[in-house]
């Protein structure tokens, strides 16, 4: 075996250009598999991270309140308090489409919404300065607000200057009581994660047409119990509405699981497409090995006449094909890994080569050498010594 390996390396080194051209298909195939799979995984990981930042443990509820059947906020809080072992926080959500103003400055892309005091914890944000919305603000429908870092910078020149200032929301004056810590570390931009205003949901209900809440956000204490919590919510909502068309429950963790399944499917599909080039490379290996057998027919005849067995000849050429493919595979891994990182940086994503892509592509390259190298090797092993010695 060792002797066959040494002979394989000698043969490869003796025909450098031909060996390199043979390996080129393997190199390109392995590199393309690694690059494609790594880029897809890197891109989709960034999508998953942004999706997960919405809160993997969150369950959103949307309802359609009609005169005969509606969901009261107090009933929702009663249900939540009965199941504190399963749920972490809860907040009603009242979206408002309006413009905010401070003096002569106005902003019309700012996200404005009404929430409870739990919303800060649900978002997993911290305050830069000031205080959060409090229970007393909800009870007395105070006109107070917590704003994002971008809003404080644009309207007041910074968080410290913003607290205590007056902000007009839809024409009503609100007092700024807190500023949330900056979320986007790269840039502050209009409509970004730092461009928002939170007010008490009880106050926000005045801005809605029917004065009711149609959306809620719950968090689970344990992501593993998401299905159980969702079932509890659906049972509660069915008791209230008696009609499944009037409410919808969405769990972020379940949506994330579906997204991960799609990512895995897409990676496998693209890896398979790139793997076709490996099959093409295998044909190239077989062709070159056939040429090698033809060129070395006399050598094979001499070895057989000196007592070399069929198994030894077969082993020699199979190992030579496998070594050629293995070297090409290693070079492909190096090229693919470097290229995937470089292209990922150019695209603004992290796309390191995955262990699975490297292992599979290398294993396939070695397997191709063994499979496609067997036929030429078998042909060499079956040569008649006398006919082989007569060949020129």
Number of domains present in the structure of the chain = 2
Beta-bridged to residue 105, according to DSSP, are 102
Whole-number pLDDT of residue 159:
92
User: Is 191 part of a structural domain of the chain?
Assistant: yes
One domain, residues 181 and 304: no
One domain, residues 107 and 173: yes
User: Is 108 part of a structural domain of the chain?
Assistant: yes
Look at residues 185, 216, 247 and tell me which one is the last residue of a structural domain.
216
Q: Please tell me the distance from the alpha carbon of residue 103 to that of residue 154, in angstroms, as a whole number.
A: 12
Segments forming the whole domain that contains residue 367: 2-51+258-390
Specify the DSSP class assigned to residue 273: H
User: Is 23 part of a structural domain of the chain?
Assistant: yes
Is pLDDT at 186 greater than 90 in this prediction?
no
| 21-35 per-position pLDDT tens digit | 778 888 888 888 888
Is pLDDT at 180 greater than 60 in this prediction?
yes
One domain, residues 100 and 25: no
Cα 124 to the chain's mean position, in Å? 21
Confidence of residue 182 (pLDDT cuts 50, 70, 90): very high
DSSP three-state, residue 133: coil
> Which among 317, 331, 313 is positioned nearest to 385, based on CA atoms?
313
| 270-289 per-position pLDDT tens digit | 767 766 777 777 777 777 77
Whole-number pLDDT of residue 365:
79
One domain, residues 47 and 95: no
Number of Cβ within a 10 Å radius of residue 24 = 15
Specify the DSSP class assigned to residue 225: G
Q: Give the whole-number percent of the chain exceeding pLDDT 90.
A: 33
Whole-number pLDDT of residue 191:
85
Whole-number pLDDT of residue 3:
62
User: Is 361 part of a structural domain of the chain?
Assistant: yes
One domain, residues 179 and 271: no
| 251-260 per-position pLDDT tens digit | 877 777 777 7
More confident: 135 or 66: 135
- Element of type H or E holding 212: none
Q: What is the mean pLDDT of residues 180-186?
A: 88
One domain, residues 181 and 277: no
Question: Which tokens go with 285?
Answer: 């290996």
User: Is 56 part of a structural domain of the chain?
Assistant: no
Q: Please tell me the distance from the alpha carbon of residue 34 to that of residue 274, in angstroms, as a whole number.
A: 9
One domain, residues 268 and 374: yes
The helix/strand count (H/E) of the chain reads as 14, 12
The answer to whether 168 touches 100, Cβ cutoff 8 Å, is yes
Query: What is the average pLDDT score of the chain?
Result: 83
Q: Give the whole-number percent of the chain exceeding pLDDT 70.
A: 85
Q: Please tell me the distance from the alpha carbon of residue 102 to that of residue 340, in angstroms, as a whole number.
A: 48
One domain, residues 16 and 100: no
Q: Please tell me the distance from the alpha carbon of residue 329 to that of residue 360, in angstroms, as a whole number.
A: 11
One domain, residues 284 and 380: yes
Q: Please tell me the distance from the alpha carbon of residue 303 to that of residue 308, in angstroms, as a whole number.
A: 5
The answer to whether 148 touches 101, Cβ cutoff 8 Å, is no
The residues near 113 (Cβ < 8 Å, ≥ 6 apart) are: 93, 94, 95, 96, 196, 197, 198, 199, 204
Distances in whole angstroms, Cα of residue 330 to Cα of each of 9, 24, 34, 337, 367: 15, 12, 12, 11, 14
Q: What is the mean pLDDT of residues 108-136?
A: 93
DSSP three-state, residue 247: strand
| 208-256 per-position pLDDT tens digit | 766 779 899 999 988 778 889 999 999 999 999 989 989 999 887 777 7
One domain, residues 265 and 199: no
One domain, residues 47 and 96: no
Beta-bridged to residue 198, according to DSSP, are 113, 146
User: Is 81 part of a structural domain of the chain?
Assistant: no
Specify the DSSP class assigned to residue 164: T
Question: Which tokens go with 187?
Answer: 């840039």
DSSP three-state, residue 70: coil
Look at residues 182, 201, 216 and tell me which one is the last residue of a structural domain.
216
The pTM of the whole model exceeds 0.85: no
Number of Cβ within a 10 Å radius of residue 193 = 19
Number of Cβ within a 10 Å radius of residue 69 = 14
> Which among 344, 348, 196, 361 is positioned nearest to 268, based on CA atoms?
361
Whole-number pLDDT of residue 202:
93
Whole-number pLDDT of residue 269:
78
User: Is 265 part of a structural domain of the chain?
Assistant: yes
Distances in whole angstroms, Cα of residue 27 to Cα of each of 144, 272, 289, 368: 63, 16, 17, 13
Whole-number pLDDT of residue 207:
79
Whole-number pLDDT of residue 2:
61
Is pLDDT at 368 greater than 90 in this prediction?
no
Whole-number pLDDT of residue 78:
94
The answer to whether 281 touches 324, Cβ cutoff 8 Å, is no
Whole-number pLDDT of residue 293:
67
Whole-number pLDDT of residue 295:
65
User: Is 165 part of a structural domain of the chain?
Assistant: yes
Specify the DSSP class assigned to residue 353: P
> Which among 210, 213, 203, 129 is positioned nearest to 170, based on CA atoms?
203
More confident: 152 or 308: 152
Look at residues 216, 234, 268 and tell me which one is the last residue of a structural domain.
216
SS in 3 state form for 41-60?
Answer: HHHHHHHHHHHHCCCCCEEE
């Amino acid at each position: 075996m060792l002797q066959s390996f040494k002979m394989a390396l000698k043969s490869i080194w003796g025909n450098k250009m031909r060996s390199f051209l043979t390996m080129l298909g393997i190199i390109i195939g392995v590199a393309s598999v690694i690059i494609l799979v790594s880029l897809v995984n890197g891109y989709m990981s960034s999508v998953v991270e942004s999706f997960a930042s919405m809160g993997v443990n969150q369950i959103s509820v949307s309802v359609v309140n009609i005169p005969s059947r509606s969901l009261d906020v107090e009933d929702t809080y009663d249900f939540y308090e009965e199941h504190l072992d399963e749920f972490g926080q809860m907040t009603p959500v009242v979206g408002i489409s309006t413009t905010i103003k401070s003096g002569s400055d106005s902003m019309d892309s700012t996200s404005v919404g009404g929430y409870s005091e739990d919303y800060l914890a649900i978002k997993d944000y911290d305050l830069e300065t000031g205080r959060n919305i409090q229970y007393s603000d909800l009870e007395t429908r105070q006109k107070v607000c917590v704003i994002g870092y971008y809003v404080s910078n644009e309207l007041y020149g910074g968080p410290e200057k913003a607290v205590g200032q007056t902000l007009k929301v839809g024409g009503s004056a609100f007092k700024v009581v807190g500023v949330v810590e900056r979320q986007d570390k790269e840039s502050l931009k209009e409509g970004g994660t730092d461009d928002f205003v939170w007010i008490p949901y009880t106050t926000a209900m005045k801005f809605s047409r029917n004065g009711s809440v149609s959306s809620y956000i719950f968090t689970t204490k344990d992501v593993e119990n998401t299905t159980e919590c969702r079932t509890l919510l659906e049972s509660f909502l069915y008791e209230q509405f008696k009609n499944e068309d009037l409410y919808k429950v969405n769990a972020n963790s379940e949506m994330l699981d579906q997204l991960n399944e799609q990512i895995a499917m897409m990676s496998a599909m693209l890896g398979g497409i790139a793997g076709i080039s490996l099959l093409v490379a295998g044909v190239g290996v077989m062709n070159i090995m056939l040429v090698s057998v033809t060129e070395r027919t006399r050598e094979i005849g001499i070895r057989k006449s000196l007592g070399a067995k069929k198994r030894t000849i077969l082993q020699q050429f199979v190992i030579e094909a496998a070594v050629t493919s293995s070297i090409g595979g290693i070079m492909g891994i190096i090229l693919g890994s470097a290229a995937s990182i470089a292209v990922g940086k150019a695209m603004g994503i992290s796309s390191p080569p995955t262990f699975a892509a490297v292992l599979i592509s290398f294993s396939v390259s070695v397997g191709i050498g063994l499979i496609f190298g067997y036929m030429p090797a078998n042909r060499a092993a079956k040569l008649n010594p006398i006919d082989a010695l007569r060949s020129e």
